[in-house]
DNA sequence: CAACTTTTGGCAAACGCTTGCCGCTTTGGT
DNA sequence: ACCAAAGCGGCAAGCGTTTGCCAAAAGTTG
């Protein structure tokens, strides 16, 4: 019975209740709880006991109002649906929880505008922001970073601390892997045009391929979803390439399906290399050779960098850039070039 | 340059600034912005203009303090990593955003204790809670529901409004599917012991199997992760069953891998039916026959029910239970029983 | 035109907490 | 034993909103 109807009866205890029970002033309670060392041990213990017996939980609202800090940070991702971001979400969530912060998760729907808007709307709500694969321009990032603490993931910018995933490094590995298998006509299957990391991957691909004297092609842009895989596969097949390096695993998995439908065998007729090593890359058919990276760790590092920015203690030691290592995980989707 | 170092200069405008600029009292600004109709139109427009020109964003903290509402709801999931919850997260996120609410995502790590703890700690932080696959006891839910707005997903309880996914209905479909394929020895592969929906599925399985005169077995409990699939597959194989209905797709996919390793062909030697139709179920090898449900929609419905609870306007019409339909999606992991 | 009712805007009191400042006790040094 | 310093707790002023109450202005009615 005691549900919605009966609710809203007893108001939760406030700091005042605790103070009264402990026989001290509210200021003492506040300090005892959030600044131990500022009060005598016996006092603190008395306060703690009172708080515990009342089941007291400080109001983060009130705390935020008066202290100016919210103890929350916002994580902006382009698409909560994309498994790539799930590892980031998990990583940040873990680290934030450990630091006593709350995570505010926002899906910006791949839109720069929405991202900027969120940044503005939440300026008071969050102490800082982690921008995953931001679609913002350098200027926008600069502006945002000028008023709030920001860390970007996979979107390098001189204007804010960044966690990079060293995909370029792994693109080289992938290329080496493919050439050693005898491939010489390789296609890069591109992701969203607005994606910074897509541009980066493509460029590395171009440069490195040229150096190796490979015949390259490029198709795209494609939305990074499995559903775009069909179009991507068709386009890639048309280029005559015997191997593809694909913007991300989602797209690659979609391609795998389409290629099977079309009777193009992977890896016999065409080799596919994905990127990110997301959930599913290991059990799709065939299992995907992919550029793996410690995504979850990237999330954790981002949090650390952000927290360092917030905490004056660490102000000096703030790193501006962290690069996460990557490596090629070879599975079944790559094989010798067709002779 | 204008980053961390130079930050913290200009404080964001407050309601006072807006009031001053518009030449009215702060109370009028407050009303103009959040209760239009309470002020004259020309006044409102003046205020709106002032607010816009200052780029004013109300402090949710202060608003929460004085109004008692936070405009945030918390979503508690046992494991953010589990793709099943991806869809719930997405569904709630969408619906909440549409209603102007912020989502607080919390991973309770499959722990009832952590769940209860979060509920307590966030009582002031969130206006309501959505408990996905709650591990709480009925009594705990009752207690929580008595002080805060709560909706559960896949955890029926008389003590709080619930969104159910009608898996039992689909278990029947799965059983029918399997028997029509000639299977008579079927094994239920169980999920976490503390999972309510696991218990429900198992019971339906038992009842329906008995009615059909099938030879059943049961293995488990298993952690619902792909990594537990190996153990589950081995256990299931030992029972001599020719088909398995598996607690969820994660586990089922893990089993698929293990069975392949062991040379047990799916579906020739053994048929597998999963549950949830998560991301990946369609492209694993073989594609998984599974009990599909509109999970994202379940998330949306949960939000609606919660918001109805919060908004006194809808107080009367609050539904206590919503049941989401399910259906069997047949793919490659089920086939005729071995003869 | 008087007597009302509505509409509209302002005043000021919360909301629950933090924190600068002050002053009383202890403590320690000489 | 005296004084400075350190330790500790209280006072009270905010933090940025919302909202109950009131009064002035405007509109309505007979």
Q: What is the pLDDT of residues B223-232, one digit of tens each?
A: 999 999 999 9
- Higher pLDDT among residues B2 and A37, named by residue: A37
| Cα gap B106→B91, rounded to integer Å | 15
| B224 falls within a domain | yes
Mean pLDDT of B40-68: 92
Q: Do A318 and A208 share a domain, yes or no?
A: no
Mean pLDDT of A76-94: 90
| B185 falls within a domain | yes
Q: Does A40 touch chain B (CB under 8 A)?
A: no
Chain A and chain B share a number of CB contacts under 8 A equal to 154
Q: Does B248 touch chain A (CB under 8 A)?
A: no
Average pLDDT, chain B: 90
Percent above pLDDT 90 for chain A:
67
pLDDT beyond 70 at A39? yes
Selected for mutation to probe chain A from B10, B124, B319 (highest A CB count within 10 Å) is B124
| Cα gap A265→A285, rounded to integer Å | 11
Q: Do B189 and B276 share a domain, yes or no?
A: yes
Residues A179-208 have pLDDT tens digits of: 999 999 999 999 998 888 899 899 999 999
> Residue B300's CB: how many other CB atoms inside 10 A?
21
Q: Do A173 and A259 share a domain, yes or no?
A: yes
Q: Do B222 and B104 share a domain, yes or no?
A: no
User: Are residues B283 and A279, on separate chains, in Cβ contact within 8 Å?
Assistant: no
Residues 173-232 of A with CB under 8 A from B: 226
Smallest CA–C1' distance to D14, residue: A66
Average pLDDT, chain A: 90
According to DSSP, the β-strands at A149-153 and A128-132 are: parallel
Residues A162-185 have pLDDT tens digits of: 999 888 888 899 999 999 999 999
| A335 falls within a domain | no
A123 CA → C18 C1’, Å: 21
| Cα gap B10→B25, rounded to integer Å | 23
Binning pLDDT at 50, 70 and 90, where does residue A6 land?
very low
Strongest mean pLDDT among A147-161, A176-190, A314-328, B299-313 = A176-190
Q: Do A240 and A320 share a domain, yes or no?
A: no
Q: Do A75 and A13 share a domain, yes or no?
A: no
Q: Using the CA of A12, which nucleotide's C1' is the nearest one?
A: C16
Residues B263-303 have pLDDT tens digits of: 999 899 999 999 999 999 999 999 999 999 899 999 999 99
Nearest CB among A61, A120, A253 relative to B65 is that of A61
A327: left (phi over 0), alpha (psi -120 to 50) or beta: beta
* Cα four-point dihedral sign B150, B155, B160, B163: positive
Q: Do A286 and A179 share a domain, yes or no?
A: yes
| A176 falls within a domain | yes
pLDDT beyond 60 at A86? yes
Instruction: Return the minimum-mean-pLDDT range out of A14-18, A215-219, A309-313, B113-117.
Output: A309-313
| Cα gap B223→B217, rounded to integer Å | 18
Which residues in chain A have Cβ-Cβ distances shorter than 8 Å to B102?
104, 125
Confidence (pLDDT) at B6:
45
Residues A259-302 have pLDDT tens digits of: 999 999 989 999 999 999 999 999 999 999 999 989 999 999 99
Confidence (pLDDT) at A116:
93
CB A300 within 8 A of CB A332: no
Confidence (pLDDT) at A15:
94
| Cα gap A138→B3, rounded to integer Å | 12
Q: Do B159 and B185 share a domain, yes or no?
A: no
* Cα four-point dihedral sign B24, B25, B29, B35: negative
Say yes or no: Cβ of B56 under 7 A from any atom of strand D: yes
Confidence (pLDDT) at A156:
80
Q: Does A14 touch chain B (CB under 8 A)?
A: no
A21 CA → D22 C1’, Å: 38
* CB burial readout A5-39, b (16+ within 10 A) else e: eeeeeeeebbbebbbbbbebeeebbbbbbeeeeeb
Confidence (pLDDT) at B328:
94
CB B280 within 8 A of CB B83: yes
| Cα gap B206→B211, rounded to integer Å | 9
Q: Do A82 and A151 share a domain, yes or no?
A: yes
Mean pLDDT of A311-337: 83
Which residues in chain B have Cβ-Cβ distances shorter than 8 Å to A256?
283
A248 alpha carbon, distance to own chain's centre: 14
Distance from CA of A117 to the nearest CA of B (A): 11
Mean pLDDT of A91-114: 90
User: Are residues B90 and A105, on separate chains, in Cβ contact within 8 Å?
Assistant: no
B250 alpha carbon, distance to own chain's centre: 16
pLDDT beyond 50 at B8? no
According to DSSP, the β-strands at A243-246 and A289-292 are: unpaired
3 state SS for chain B: CCCHHHCCCCCCCCHHHHHHHHCCCHHHHHHHHHCCCCCCHHHHHHHHHHHHHHCCCCCHHHHHHHHCCCCEEEEEECCCCCHHHHHHHHHHHHHHHHCCCEEEEEECCCCHHHHHHHHHHCCCCCCEEEEECCCCCHHHHHHHHHHCEEEEECCCCCCCCEEEECHHHHHHHHHHHHHHCCCCEEEEECCCCCCHHHHHHHHHHHHHHHHCCCEEEEECCCCCCHHHHHHHHHHHHHCCCCEEEECCHHHHHHHHHHHHHCCCCCCCCCEEEEEECCCCCCCECCCCEEEECCHHHHHHHHHHHHHHHHCHHHHHHCCCEEEECCEEECCCCCCCCCC
| A107 falls within a domain | yes
According to DSSP, the β-strands at A149-153 and A162-165 are: parallel
Confidence (pLDDT) at A2:
38
Residue that finishes a domain, picked among B18, B33, B56: B56
Provide the positions of strand C that have an atom within 7 A of a protein CB.
7-20
Q: Do A285 and A180 share a domain, yes or no?
A: yes
| A127 falls within a domain | yes
What residue has token string 């009866």? A9
pLDDT beyond 60 at A8? no
Q: Do B280 and B316 share a domain, yes or no?
A: no
What is the reported pTM?
Answer: 0.87
pLDDT beyond 70 at A118? yes
| B228 falls within a domain | yes
- Higher pLDDT among residues B11 and A130, named by residue: A130
Percent above pLDDT 70 for chain A:
95
Binning pLDDT at 50, 70 and 90, where does residue A37 land?
confident
Confidence (pLDDT) at A5:
42
**Residue range(s) defining the domain that contains residue B118:** 70-165+294-324
Confidence (pLDDT) at A325:
92
Binning pLDDT at 50, 70 and 90, where does residue A4 land?
very low
Residues whose CB falls within 8 Å of the CB of residue A220, separated by 6 or more in sequence, listed in order? A188, A189, A190, A191, A232, A235, A247
Q: Using the CA of B64, which nucleotide's C1' is the nearest one?
A: D17
User: Are residues A4 and B145, on separate chains, in Cβ contact within 8 Å?
Assistant: yes
Residues A226-267 have pLDDT tens digits of: 999 999 999 999 999 999 999 999 999 999 999 999 999 989
Any idea what the CATH number is for the domain that residue B195 is in? 3.40.50.2300
User: How many domains does the structure of chain A reveal?
Assistant: 3
Taking the CA atoms of residue A233, residue A239, residue A242 and residue A244 in that order, the dihedral angle to the nearest 10 degrees is: -50
Confidence (pLDDT) at B254:
96
Binning pLDDT at 50, 70 and 90, where does residue B316 land?
low
Binning pLDDT at 50, 70 and 90, where does residue B72 land?
very high
Residue that finishes a domain, picked among B56, B78, B100: B56
| B337 falls within a domain | no
Mean pLDDT of B184-199: 91
Binning pLDDT at 50, 70 and 90, where does residue A76 land?
very high
Q: Do B33 and B20 share a domain, yes or no?
A: yes
């Amino acid at each position: 019975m005691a549900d919605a109807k009966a609710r809203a009866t007893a108001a939760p205890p406030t700091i005042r209740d605790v103070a009264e029970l402990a026989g001290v002033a509210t200021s003492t309670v506040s300090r005892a709880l959030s600044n131990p060392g500022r009060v005598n041990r016996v006092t603190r213990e008395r306060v703690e006991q009172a708080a515990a017996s009342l089941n007291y939980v400080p109001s983060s609202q009130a705390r935020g109002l008066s202290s100016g800090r919210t103890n929350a940070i916002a994580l902006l991702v382009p698409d909560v649906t994309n498994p790539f971001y799930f590892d980031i979400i998990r990583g940040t969530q873990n680290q934030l929880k450990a630091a006593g912060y709350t995570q505010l998760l926002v899906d910006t729907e791949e839109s720069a505008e929405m991202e900027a808007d969120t940044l503005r709307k939440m300026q008071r709500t969050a102490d800082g922001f982690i921008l995953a694969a931001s679609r913002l321009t350098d200027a926008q990032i600069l502006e945002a970073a000028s008023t709030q603490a920001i860390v970007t993931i996979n979107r390098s910018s001189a204007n804010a601390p960044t966690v990079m995933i060293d995909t370029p490094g792994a693109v080289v590995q992938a290329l080496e892997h493919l050439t050693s298998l005898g491939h010489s006509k390789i296609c890069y299957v591109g992701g969203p045009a607005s994606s910074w990391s897509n541009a980066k991957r493509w460029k590395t691909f171009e440069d490195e391929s040229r150096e190796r004297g490979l015949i390259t092609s490029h198709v795209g842009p494609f939305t990074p979803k499995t559903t775009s895989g069909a179009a991507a596969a068709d386009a890639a097949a048309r280029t005559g390439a015997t191997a593809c390096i694909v913007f991300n695993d989602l797209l690659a998995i979609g391609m795998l399906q389409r290629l099977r439908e079309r009777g193009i065998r992977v890896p016999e007729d065409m080799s596919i290399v994905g990127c990110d090593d997301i959930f599913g890359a290991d059990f799709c058919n065939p299992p995907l050779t992919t550029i793996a990276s410690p995504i979850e760790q990237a999330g954790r590092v981002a949090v650390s960098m952000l927290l360092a920015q917030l905490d004056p203690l660490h102000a000096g030691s703030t790193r501006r850039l962290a690069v996460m290592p990557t490596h090629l995980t070879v599975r079944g989707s790559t094989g010798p070039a067709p002779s």
